[in-house]
Chains A and B, each alone.
Chain A
Amino acid sequence: MQNKDNSKKLARRAIKRVRSDALENKSELEKIKITDSEPVTDIEIDSPDTGFKITDAPTVKEEAVTEVPVAEEPAVEETVTAVEEPVVEVPAAEEAPAEVPDEKAVPEEAPSAEEVPAEELAAEETPDAVPAEEIPAEADNAPAEAEEVPAEIPAPESAEDPDELGKVKVGPMLKTGAMLLAVCAIVTLVLAMVNFLTKDMAAANKQKDTDIAIKELFPTCTASTEEETVHGAPINGVYKVMEKDTHIGYAVGVIASGFGGDIEMLVGIGHGGVVNGVKIISMSETPNVGSRVNDSEYLSGYKGLSGELVIGQDVDAISGATVSSKAVLAGVNAVLALDLKVEGVATEDSSSEAVSTDEVTIDVSTPIPPDEGLETVPVTGETPSLGFDTLYRDETIPPIPERDETSIIEIVTQPDAETTVPTETDAPSGDSGAATDEPVSSDTAPVSDAEAPAA
């Protein structure tokens, strides 16, 4: 009994499908009626017409054969529906997969696309087709007519298929594509607007973070500007750090790849190219393990180092966090490899400041580290007692205790620029260095020109 119930259900479902299909799809109705003229009751009937059609769609025939017996059971009990059921099953199985999906996608276009081929094909191939066209309007959803469908249906449909595929599919694809495009366009527009509104704030936040980090590396820093010079990865921005008008070092952003991702850090380079400090801005190392490289105690171990650092010699690795330690080291090494020269070097004494390079002479307010190789230094600034003697920068020269603020020649150096910019010049006493070709300023120019040969 259960089996019968099931098959009844199946049959009813099939009827429903056919009815709805018929309502939706005019052309299907036509097909149904095409066969109307032929009283076909058995699916397996081989009418002269079906011969070639079945070869066109062999699978269709199989389906029909397999499904009929299932549906036939209830036929015994319920006479009215039973008659319909076995037959109804077939068109549902055949037509639903082929046509229904397309239909739903573009309801407006489908009928027109399908009607034409249906008529043409019918006219060409089957003589029955002529009456078929006339009938459709009469019966809209008559399941009784669906009874006779089986043998005939495969023919026009399989012949139609290629045409349908070509004609129907383009429409919905364009439509859905346009829809997707619209969705993407709107979302993009919204994103662009939000980006426009927030980008300044986001950039300001990032700048603030960097500023804070630089301030920690160089507590005396008053201003920092990002250098335009482009460095490739892993260098992530070079900042020139100034204390008032004095160049006191560089802060270099660098990204090293650690154990759990990138470690973004800022390395301070002070006078003489030594590490002034290392600050980790962001990282995703394992908490409590790799993250221990962020201990200020550990990072302070980098202070004062220069050259190519080797782990275990210059700095230790943290046990358990070797990868993270090496990443930090690699980052610092990458910065040191830039070989940044902090040109601005100053001594506390006002007499013996100056570094001789090819281009410029500078003095800044901090002492030159001992390892800074300084040889002959032309005198700049005002040192009346020394005249134009060449100074040997030496620890032995006693510093002059009092600093005469007005006497310091302030020269800011760009790495390759040859400009010398005096900021505070004591005109009468200030002498520009012999090595300096350019006049220090308009005030001192005549002096230096006149006296250079003497030196």
Chain B
Amino acid sequence: MNGKKILSQFKEGLLTNNPVFVQLLGMCSALAITTTVINALGMGLSVTAVLICSNVIISLLRKIIPKQIRIASYIVIISGFVTVVEMLLKAFAPAISKSLGLFIPLIVVNCIILARAEAYASRHSVLPSAIDGLAMGVGYTVAVVVLAFVRELFGSGTILGITVLGDWYKPVGMLINPAGAFITLGCIIAAVQKFLMKKQDRDFKKEGNEGKVNG
């Protein structure tokens, strides 16, 4: 576990294997809650917290849990953490809890978390798993915040609720709608892919595309 490896894990989570832009995981929440930056931030941090905790616990239990019931156990552990996060949000950040609404409980079925549990945490020791959770969580957070930034800026003319585009700007209502989310996401994915193609060699490209099927 050296610095270089940590760096590469973060690079993977943020860019080359970004859960939203490259792996296309967790689309449901990514599309639904990105109407405002603050929502996206709240959701991203919640997912990150759940991801780190579940990765650590699953990594600790990876040798204890029998193979046949591992998925069931993962789901129970993940939903436990999600419920804890939900309770904490209700207690300490009621505003965010209210605006995220149903999407907090739905973190349970966010495929990013189960995918990381199955693909990484169940095969690696605790520290790398925790770092993987952090890296993937940050990758998700950055992705949804970027998406929300574009949608909120052009869809409502505000950022974090503060009007930045003046009265002269007529908000594009469609961007706030689900259709706008898809279009924005498509454009961003195209840009990210273009960037990756330019920067990386062929092998890297291949690696990036592999994850796409997992949806």
Binding site for B on A (CB under 8 A): 105, 172, 175-176, 179-180, 183-184, 187-188, 190-191, 194-195, 198-199, 201-202, 205-206, 209, 261, 282, 284, 286-289
Contact = CB atoms under 8 A, between A and B. Distances in A.
B90 A175 contact: no
Interface stretch (B4-12, B19-27, B81-89): B81-89
Contacts of B77: 183, 187
B90 A202 contact: yes
7 contacts: A172-B68, A183-B73, A184-B76, A191-B87, A198-B88, A205-B91, A282-B98
Nearest to A288: B173
A138 B84 CA distance: 59
A103 B59 CA distance: 25
Contacts of B91: 198, 201-202, 205
Contacts of B83: 191, 194
B73 A179 contact: yes
Contact of A209 (B94, B173, B176): B94
B90 A284 contact: no
B84 A194 contact: yes
Contact of A288 (B66, B88, B98, B171): B171
Contact of B156 (A184, A195, A199, A287): A287
A190 B84 contact: yes
Interface residues of B, number: 30
Interface in B55-91: 61, 64-66, 68-69, 72-73, 76-77, 79-80, 83-84, 87-88, 90-91
B80 A179 contact: no
Contact of A176 (B66, B88, B92, B177): B66
Nearest to B79: A187
Contact of A198 (B72, B76, B90, B171): B90
Contacts of A202: 87, 90-91, 94
A194 B87 contact: yes
B110 interface: no
Contacts of B156: 287-288
What are the nearest 3 A-B pairs in CB distance? A187-B80, A201-B91, A198-B91
B16 interface: no
Nearest to B61: A183
Contacts of A188: 80
Contacts of B69: 176, 179-180
Contacts of B161: none
Contact of B80 (A172, A190, A261): A190
B76 A183 contact: yes
